[in-house]
Amino acid sequence: MVEDTSTYKRKWIILLAVGMGAFLATIDGGIVNIGLNTPVKEFGRPLVVIEWVVLAYMLTVSSLMLSIGRLGDMLARKKLYLAGIIIFTIGSALCGLSPTIYWLIGFRVLQAVGSSILMALGTAMVTEAFPTNERGKALGIFGTLVSMGIIAGPTIGGLLLESLSWHWLFFVNLPVGLVGVYLVIRFVPANRPGTRQHFDFPGALTLFLGLCALLLALSLIQGSGFSRR
Distance between CA atoms of 181 and 85, rounded to whole angstroms? 7
What digits encode the pLDDT tens for the residues 173-215?
898 889 888 988 888 877 666 566 677 777 778 877 887 777 7
3 state DSSP class of 227: coil
The predicted structure's pLDDT at residue 90: 94
Distance between CA atoms of 218 and 15, rounded to whole angstroms? 35
Residue among 6, 11, 20 at smallest CA distance from 182: 20
What digits encode the pLDDT tens for the residues 47-65?
777 778 888 888 888 888 8
- What are the domain boundaries of the chain? 10-189+200-219
Mention every residue, 6+ apart, whose C-beta is less than 8 A from residue 40.
46, 47, 50
What digits encode the pLDDT tens for the residues 104-147?
889 999 999 998 898 888 888 888 888 888 888 888 988 888 88
Q: Return the CATH superfamily for domain 10-189+200-219.
A: MFS general substrate transporter like domains (1.20.1250.20)
More confident position, 170 or 34: 170
Q: What global pTM score does this model have?
A: 0.82
More confident position, 97 or 70: 97
- 40 C-beta neighbours (distance < 10 Å), count: 17
Query: Does the structure show a pLDDT above 70 at 222?
Result: no
Instruction: Please report which confidence band the pLDDT of residue 1 belongs to, taking 50, 70 and 90 as the band edges.
Output: very low
Residue-averaged pLDDT of the chain: 80
